[in-house]
Amino acid sequence: MRLFIAIDVPGEIRERLGAMQDELRQASSSARWTTAESLHVTLKFIGEISETRCQEVDTALVGLAWKPLSVSVRGVGFFPGTGSPRVLWAGLECPTMVGLAGEIDSRLERAGFDKDGRAFRAHLTLARTKDNRLESSLVKAAAQFADTEFGKFTADRVYLYQSTLKPGGPVYTRLKEYPL
């Protein structure tokens, strides 16, 4: 089982982001676009584990105590930057999300899972490259959305998802829900 922990994004925000993706599609032939329906905020990628370990994840997350998060989806950018872009993302403004991701990481580390090696950066992945970098034409086209407000929402739960890789892209199945 390939697992991750995430926050869902409301439909109206996914629709706004999807409309922007549609507008930007023509600017890149190398991008693999995330479908608007599957947009989510990954708090922790766990990776491939057994069903037994899946139960250990659930046990580690039961009783997660955190206040609901106020999230603003605003602007776009690129990882690692515009000089050699590999990922197009939408920005998230929510200072307390870093703490929640850290708490989840700590709980899973105590359960025997690897700690994340990089600092958490809240974002929504909109596209990634099939090649070694996205075209400068996409960087230029995306600049018009640098300060766009896509919406705000309250996240009051996180989910454990299974990711099944298929030729047409990953399929996400919600396995568990953890209220905040």
CA-CA-CA-CA torsion for 69, 156, 170, 175, nearest 10 degrees? 150
Looking at the annotation, which residues are catalytic?
Answer: 40, 123
Query: How many Å separate Cα 164 from the centre of its chain?
Result: 16
Residues 59 and 108: their CA atoms lie apart, in Å, by 9
Residues 152 and 82: their CA atoms lie apart, in Å, by 26
Quote the tokens at residue 44: 């922790």
**Contact between 98 and 66 (Cβ < 8 Å):** no
- 151 backbone dihedrals φ, ψ, rounded to 5°: 140, 170
